């Protein structure tokens, strides 16, 4: 099966969605995720996006459920 439309959503973006990550500073990496950091919306790479999600998940308290 052909994959003609893969990546078509980012072809219209400047530099095909590539740039410099605001958190880690890597250059020429896909920065497709917009996050609010210190009151500003910045674009981050997928690795920093996952890192922010994991930190938020670990920061929330775990509620224990009792199996009765």
Residue 65: per-residue pLDDT:
74
Task: Please give the model's pTM, rounded to 2 decimal places.
Answer: 0.77
Residue 67: per-residue pLDDT:
67
Q: How far apart are CA 37 and CA 58, in angstroms?
A: 18
pLDDT tens digits, 20-48: 999 999 999 999 999 999 999 999 999 99
Q: How far apart are CA 43 and CA 26, in angstroms?
A: 12
Q: How far apart are CA 38 and CA 11, in angstroms?
A: 30
Flag whether pLDDT at 9 surpasses 70.
yes
């Amino acid at each position: 099966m052909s994959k003609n439309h893969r990546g078509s959503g980012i072809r219209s973006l400047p530099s095909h969605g590539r740039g410099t990550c605001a958190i880690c500073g890597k250059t020429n990496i896909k920065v497709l995720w917009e996050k609010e950091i210190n009151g500003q919306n910045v674009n981050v790479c997928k690795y920093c996006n996952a890192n922010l999600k994991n930190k938020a998940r670990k920061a929330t308290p775990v509620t224990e459920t009792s199996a009765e």
